[in-house]
Chains A and B, each alone.
Chain A
Amino acid sequence: MNLPSPGLPDFDYVSADTSDEVVSLLLKYPNDARLFMGGTDIFLHMRDRLVTPKLLVDVKHLPGMTSIDFDPKSGLRLGAAATLNMIARHQAVVKYYSLLAEAIDAFGMYQLRNRATIGGNLCNASPCADTGPIALVYEASLLAIGPKGERTIPAAEFFLGPGKNALDEGEFLMRIDFPTPPKGCAGRYLKLGRNSAGDLALVSAAVMAYPDESVKSSYSFRLALASVAPTPIRVPAAEAILARDPLTDETIELAANEAEATSRPIDDIRASAHYRKAMVKALTRRGILEVRTMLEKEG
């Protein structure tokens, strides 16, 4: 058994001022340099000796890295180093991106969220990351900066597996763009932990829906799940059911069954795969029911 060290191992610290500096450090020390912003993942990994960087590059002070901008046309632009509390407090988030606010509310604890950043949460690419399913249902895109300049990665293509993201060597995450949500959109983020709040998700479900005359049920749904696959996942089959059939309890049950079938959870010390699967169904069902009520109220 590998016990964590009492403190943080040795490393060098540098706070980067420009994107170029970050990229060149990453290229120069591909194995030894790691980026950090809030440190709430990487410091733990370093104590556990899962990573042993010789150089930590603090990227949160780069220009624009913590900015939060909203424009009704283009949507929400979050600097990668915007802390979760900054985001949750922002009026546009409260008003237009309630799922994001809800996920942040369910995330860790207040003082941690003063350090934890949205970019760190996404880059860390944990299957249980709370903002993962949120980025998926809002169909966010991630702006990376690298040796070849800027590149935009759709959230759906960003997560590759536990701890693995789509950034290439020398690339870092600069910004996350959330498009303007569909008109009349409602949503719920339901997270299940072992205790009532503050745990990592055993399962979580993000349910979003909006009126859509182009589909038969007249509502388009987007469903995403965390902690039940190597990455956060969308559940297109369930979304299709909800678009096709009127939103009766039976339809919802079918969609929830589909979500359960799509999920591929594992057994671990936190929960069994069996329980997780059942919870996918329970949370999806409840989420859709609640969103239906919200939509009906709106309509």
Chain B
Amino acid sequence: MGTHRITLTVNRVQEVAEVPSNLTLLDFLRERLALTGTKNGCSTGECGACTVMMNGEPVNSCLVLAVEADGAEILTIEGLAHDGQLDTLQKAFIELTGTQCGFCAPGILISARALLNRNPHPSEAEIRDALRGHLCRCTGYVRIVESIQAAAKAGG
């Protein structure tokens, strides 16, 4: 099995690594970089817990090979807050209880950030649609939707 040298940016920091072909981006982030905020919930692209931003767009990192991320810019939940400032979405989730057990939240926050980036004023239906790749078993999604609405209102 071959390995590959990759250079990528993760949360605004450049990383260089030697990775085997079958290493997923998810495992690369969790095991090589100890960025464990991104979760593994199914390994099949269904639950959305592993969602990260790749070149500005959300992807299921369980279905991306680490070698494919060569040259990419990756943003994970750990990088969502920066310069000591929480993202508007994080603030809204805190205020409105946008999560319970917290396991799906990192992926949802990344997808929500991507949504507000491409559509700063989404309708409730658009928010729900953007969440359809995220399974949450705790909240019934009510407060997740409300948190995203609040963040959009607060200027995204």
Contact = CB atoms under 8 A, between A and B. Distances in A.
State if A and B touch, Cβ cutoff 8 Å: yes
Interface in B17-74: 20-22, 24, 27, 43-45, 48, 51, 54, 57-60, 63-65, 67-68
Given A39-B64, A111-B133, A11 B45 contact: no
Interface bracket on B? 20 to 34
B95 interface: no
Nearest to A109: B133
Contacts of B27: 7
Given A115-B59, A115-B60, A56 B133 contact: no
Contacts of A58: 68
A110 B119 CA distance: 13
B2 A12 contact: yes
B58 A40 contact: no
A12 B1 contact: yes
Given A7-B22, A110-B111, A115 B64 contact: yes
Contacts of B2: 12-13
B65 A39 contact: yes
Contact of A7 (B43, B60, B111): B43
A11 B21 contact: yes
A56 B60 contact: no
Name the residue in A39, A44, A56, A111 with the highest tally of chain B Cβ atoms < 10 Å from its Cβ: A111
Nearest to B128: A197
Interface in A33-54: 38-40, 43-44, 47
A112 B21 contact: no
A198 interface: yes
Interface string B112-140: 00110000000000000110111000000
Name the residue in A6, A38, A40, A110 with the highest tally of chain B Cβ atoms < 10 Å from its Cβ: A110
A197 B132 contact: yes
Interface string A225-241: 00000000000000000
Given A11-B1, A11-B21, A58-B68, A115 B63 contact: yes
A9 interface: yes
B4 interface: yes
A111 B22 contact: no
Name the residue in B1, B27, B54 with the highest tally of chain A Cβ atoms < 10 Å from its Cβ: B1
Interface residues of A, number: 27
Contact of A111 (B1, B20, B44, B111): B111
A215 interface: no
Interface string A1-34: 0001011111111000000000000000000000
A38 B115 CA distance: 21
Contact of B43 (A47, A109, A115, A198): A47
Name the residue in B1, B59, B115 with the highest tally of chain A Cβ atoms < 10 Å from its Cβ: B59
A272 interface: no
A273 to B, nearest CB: 26
A256 B133 CA distance: 33
A211 interface: no
A225 B51 CA distance: 32
Given A11-B1, A39-B63, A114-B57, A109 B21 contact: no
Name the residue in A10, A39, A43 with the highest tally of chain B Cβ atoms < 10 Å from its Cβ: A43
A121 interface: no
Given A7-B27, A10-B1, A56-B21, A112 B43 contact: no
Name the residue in B43, B51, B111 with the highest tally of chain A Cβ atoms < 10 Å from its Cβ: B43
Nearest to A86: B57
A112 B45 contact: yes
A155 to B, nearest CB: 26
23 contacts: A7-B27, A7-B43, A10-B20, A10-B21, A11-B22, A12-B1, A13-B4, A13-B21, A39-B63, A40-B45, A108-B45, A108-B133, A110-B111, A110-B130, A111-B57, A111-B58, A111-B114, A112-B45, A112-B60, A112-B133, A114-B59, A115-B63, A198-B133
A-B pairs, 9 with minimum CB distance: A109-B133, A13-B21, A111-B58, A8-B22, A198-B132, A10-B1, A12-B2, A114-B57, A109-B132
